[in-house]
Amino acid sequence: MVMAAQIDDLITLDPAELYELSGGDYVANVYDRLVRHDPDNVAVITGVAAEGWSVSPDGRRFTFRIRPGMAFHSGNPVTAEDAAWSLQRVVRLGKGPAFLLKQFGLDAGNVESRVRATDAHTLVFETDRTYAPGFVLGSLASWVSSVVDRKAALAHEKNGDLGNGWLRRASAGSGPFRLAVWRPNEALIVDRFDGYWQGAAGMRRVVLRHIPEPGTQRLLLEKGDVDIARNIGADDLAALSANPAVRIRHVERASQYYLGLNQKNPYLRRPEVRTALKYLTDYEAINDSILKGTQLVRQTFLPRGTPGAIDDRPYRVDVDKARALLAEAGLADGFAVTMDTRNTSPTTEIAEALQAMWGRAGIRVEILPGDNKQTLTRYRARSHDIYIGRWSPDTLDPHGNAEAFAWNPDNGESAAVKTLAWRNAWDTPETSRLVAAVLAEPDPSRRAAAYADLQRLHQRISPFVLMFQDTEPVAERTGITGPVIGPTFDMVLYRDMRKSRP
């Protein structure tokens, strides 16, 4: 099976270090993690390396039963000692993914006592305080709980790096595929692991070819040189949809486009202005004319399908209402503002559309283009007026996005935690209290209801214009079945793929 994809972001294969989108494909198929979200219903957590688990009455101790009979690609058995060491290793290395475990009070000094194997098939994971069980399990459902072959990694350890130098270009997993070849900026190839505990995968080999241009992906797909194209542009969709040899699927992903309105700006600080901008944005027009089927209109901070997500869309373009709100704010003649914009498509086109739409109410937008590093640096420094952002959560538990968009416990310049709310200088004690309170709610239904209330409050008062959620088009040759492409970057599963054509 050959897939065309953009994999130039891949810089490491170590699951304790990788944080790139392309790495999600790799780690989900080469490593088994403790648990994962069901791709068809992300509210459900299913076991992978763990066949089951229990939670202590105080909600602080999670005990996992490691599945018997599993083996690593090396032939070594998968044990609770491997699973515990893998989690300890993430914390001890302290690379990007470590925060997913450190948020539970783990650090290099305590992780070996709080994450431990009590026998070959029992793993204990202890948190510093009580959290909603769904939040803990949702965090462990990410690639951060990938089980690494401890013996293989330590055999290649150098200078106490826990095998990190070796695992950056090698694998030590137990998943349905094993690493064959990685040629950076060219190809990533994985081969079937015939000893997989669930049975051998359908395809002998899966190849990810780095094809950066969407138009080239389309041509290769039409010729049959690739079986699946993962980065088809909006302009190519119509042509491919008319090709009987190709099938287009639209997969809902958790990534979202939004506008961040810096509350340091004296105009954007006014509630009437924030609401006016939401009424000046013609979401449907942008979606239809620019995004062309690659997004859906989404006005909440939780992606569709996330537990507690709501579908409310209170804002439709209404220029008269927006003008009345601006007049109420003492800005009947509008005002001037800048918009930091990444100079790639479709971000540039969205900014230009907003510039024209908002101009109808006298708001004069100066677009400040830059590459991703430039615009993101200004955003992180809170030196923007308006920023067009694209946000993708690390986990599918609702707390991740609630924390990002609605929690800001310290609005000071030197705050230790710098969420999206902080980046926009939004001092919001009300929503911050709600985010903290719901994090400890053990009942899933009450927790979902609390997140629904929080989203509606956020829609009314926040300095965010939530706009779109990704619906990624995946183009496949007819005869291809079985690839699972879930809502997050680390939920792409190859095991059930089949190809019936020659």
Decide if pLDDT at 502 tops 70.
no
Report how far apart, in Å, the C-alpha atoms of 376 and of each of 13, 19, 390, 402 are: 25, 17, 11, 21
Residue range 264-285: mean pLDDT, rounded? 98
As a whole number of angstroms, the distance between CA 265 and CA 183 comes to 47
- Residue-wise pLDDT for 222-243, tens only, equals 999 999 999 888 788 888 989 9
The stretch 406-412 carries a mean pLDDT of 97
Q: What is the mean pLDDT of residues 3-20?
A: 92
**pLDDT (0 to 100) of residue 159:** 97
The average pLDDT across 37-42 equals: 89
Residue 153 has pLDDT above 90, yes or no: yes
Residue 28: pLDDT above 80?
A: yes
DSSP 8-state class, residue 288 = I
* Pairwise pLDDT comparison (410 vs 253), residue with the higher score: 410
* Residue 385 clears pLDDT 90, i.e. is over it: yes
Q: In the prediction, which pLDDT does 96 show?
A: 86
Three-state secondary structure call for residue 126: strand
Alpha carbon 76 to its chain centroid, in Å, reads 32
**CA 335 to chain CA mean position, Å:** 35
Q: How high is the pLDDT of residue 395?
A: 85
Distance of CA 139 to the CA centre of its chain: 12
Strands 386-391 and 61-66: unpaired
pLDDT above 90: residue 60: yes
**Among 141-145, 206-210, 247-251, 262-266, the least confident range:** 247-251
Distance CA 402, CA 489 (A): 19
pLDDT score for 356: 98
Residue 74, helix vs strand vs coil: coil
Quick one: DSSP state of residue 388? E
Say how far apart CA 15 and CA 27 lie, in whole Å: 6
Determine which of 159-163, 173-177, 197-201, 302-306 has the lowest per-residue pLDDT on average: 302-306
Whether the predicted pLDDT of 42 surpasses 80: yes
- pLDDT, mean over the chain: 95
Q: What is the pLDDT of residue 501?
A: 62
> Which residue, among 464, 257, 463, 282, has the nearest Cα to 358 in the 3D structure?
282
Higher pLDDT: 21 or 116? It is 116
Q: Is the pTM of this model over 0.85?
A: yes
Q: Which two tokens stand for residue 8?
A: 């130039």
Give the CA dihedral 239, 244, 245, 249, nearest 10 degrees: 70
Look at residue 315 in the predicted model and tell me its pLDDT: 98
**In 168-317, beta strands by DSSP E:** 177-183, 187-192, 205-210, 228-229, 246-261, 295-297
Output the pLDDT for position 40.
86
The stretch 108-124 carries a mean pLDDT of 98
Q: How far apart are CA 406 and CA 227, in angstroms?
A: 42
Residue 286 near residue 474 (C-beta atoms within 8 A)? no
Helix segments in 366-475, DSSP class H: 372-380, 398-406, 420-423, 429-439, 444-461
C-alpha closest to that of 153 among 141, 143, 145, 162: 162
Range of lowest pLDDT (110-119, 306-315, 443-452, 479-488): 479-488
pLDDT digits (tens, 9 = 90+) for 284-336: 999 999 998 789 999 999 999 898 999 999 999 999 999 999 999 999 999 99
**What average pLDDT does this structure show over 58-62?**
95
Fill in the DSSP letter of residue 289. I
pLDDT in tens, 65-107: 999 999 999 999 999 999 999 999 999 999 989 999 999 999 9
Specify whether the backbone of 192 is left (phi greater than 0), alpha (psi in -120 to 50) or beta: beta
Q: Of 453, 399, 404, give the one whose Cα is nearest residue 428.
A: 404
- Specify the DSSP element, H or E, that contains 347: helix 347-359
Q: Is residue 131 within 8 Å of residue 106, measured between CB atoms?
A: no
* pLDDT-wise least confident of 41-45, 152-156, 307-311: 41-45
pLDDT category at 44 given cuts 50, 70, 90 is: very high
Name the residue with tokens 């095998």.
163
